[in-house]
Structure 1
């Protein structure tokens, strides 16, 4: 309801501004004197400084509120460029305003807007899983190589060859193949590092017929592994301490609402995956899962499946509701 009212308000404002803008174009004088010229510009620049400062503060703390603040700062920079150029057009130094707008204010606004969009969409490359990816995932040598590189943070082919006990040329060839798939990248100093990316699992019916058996076998093995992982997590849930978190719920959603929820979840997941691109002090490799599916209509004792009902009936079993949530996720290297 609120969303519909807001959209109606925005649409009505856009329509009303059209005749108002036409009216101003024909009625406003070409020039106008003001007694608050200094206050207007000083106040505007103070607001711009505040936006820069707050955006930097939020960015340092990796707060999601940095996104609208970056967008607001970009908008103010565009306004600054517009009014500087238009109001100084007849002044002797108007070319200074034009140069500032072209080379400083507008480019900086574009960078901030681009960064805001990158933060909003996750900032991690995303693509569909291919048969070539499945071949890499099924090859133990490639899996061991990526895990060793992830544990080291960064390494040269020589260091990896020594750690793995493989010839250097063989390790270099595997690194190049992984780089073609976007799994690793080579830095300017020659060191190799893992590269985050999101791989969307394919829909079996949309896979080419010759590749369908291989993809089906991969998906079956993947979900069997997920079941084993969740079973292990349930058995060891009391050992995780603060490293074991989870929530579950049953609710009513439309398909569009569920799609929006999944998109927001993926954005949040990606943002946290980008926090640490290598192992650091006080960090651990954490498995994160999310599944959403239609609740079985014919499940017996459905009321007992409610987390609240289960906890109320057996308070000592409330910890069971903290099991790691399961989720059909895009594969992220380093989070297998």
Structure 2
């Protein structure tokens, strides 16, 4: 696969340099691979982060109404404990913080250890995880509960709540409530090949798709011949709507996410098919979001996220925000 980069070992630093040129309202936090919003007025600051290669996550969601800061790691690798601690020390202990972490073992370990060290030094920091992935482990058939595209909706809701002045403990409670209503399942039409790699992360035939893939190129739980958008939507909608005991006419948000290489035309075709099927299941579709919102670098694929809504959450999802990746349309 062709890649428009210079040297794989410099790709994150050079990406960050270009991003700051393109979005001058953001600024680098000290010398760290981390960025912050230039307009920081909240009582509690929201900080996310993880491995690079998922752009526009996390950097595209730093801005008014969303994240206050994001900490970057190498491609598909979370930032080190040392990097997280150093970034937070530049920001200082003047206010409470909330870490928003995708539920992967290494991400959780690094942010948890960094939080423990900082709390011991007088910082007030909470931590919440995002665990929306409903893919199953093919060996145990148990849900993996990784943090995937639903992270975008979690950031949007927590951002609106933080803007409303919600305290740290209440933000953590809100995140737990959102996790209970948030489910995602993804499908790959092709594998991903990260900078520095010379072959795909997993094997997938030219006429095959893989269900339940991970955003770091982890293999899915089942591969089968390629099907139409309508049949793929039927598979994902049927699985996701059976997970929660949502009542008939339950208010619902849906997010269709391109995983890096899927054209917008295909995304909108799939949006039509998925939303029509969700409506046939009897749900009240109140919010629809489509776009390339969280990627697995170059993967051609799509994920479908459902979120059971409250009236307050629906209002928060509709509020205009900064952050170049969300879009206000």
Which structure has greater helix proportion? 1
> Does TM, normalized by the shorter one, top 0.5?
no
TM-score for both structures, normalised by structure 2: 0.21
Greater share of strand: 2
Higher radius of gyration, 1 or 2: 1
- What is the TM-score when the length of structure 1 is the normalising length? 0.20
